[in-house]
Amino acid sequence: MASSIVAAIIGGIAGAIAGLIGDGFLTGLFSGAIAGGVVGFLFSLAPRSFEDPRIAVESFSPAGFIGAIVGSVAANAGLIGAFISCGAGWVLGLLLPAMLIATMMPRE
């Protein structure tokens, strides 16, 4: 559940970037969030053992990428908009878990 929510947020941000370049911000945001949530849900269906983390962190970059593609198609962002938002979505999927882990780690 948490994987789908975080993946939907990342996909929504990537879709919103495509929407800023294209015709509609909200169109890109909503369609990217839905696509990102679906990708996060599909990744969470993989079997996990008790030693694995509860959140499927490996789904965040593909969720941003797919959310950007769907958002750019829905918002009519074009090839350049799709390229920029796909790169931003993939990088956001890589950086967001690292930033969250860095802020949650206890400091000595």
Q: Which domain holds residue 61?
A: 2-46+54-104
CB 34 within 8 A of CB 28: no
pLDDT by 10-residue block (mean), the chain, 108 residues: 88 94 92 94 82 77 94 92 94 88 79
CB 63 within 8 A of CB 4: no
Instruction: Give pLDDT, residue 21.
Output: 92
DSSP H helical ranges for the chain: 2-21, 25-44, 60-74, 78-104
What's the pLDDT tens digit per position in 74-95?
A: 999 989 999 999 999 999 999 9
Name the percent of the chain lying above pLDDT 90: 62
pTM of the model: 0.86
Q: Which residues contact 15 (CB under 8 A, 6 or more apart)?
A: 28, 29, 30, 31, 32, 33, 35, 36, 67, 68, 70, 71, 72, 74, 75, 85, 89
- Overall domain count for the chain: 1
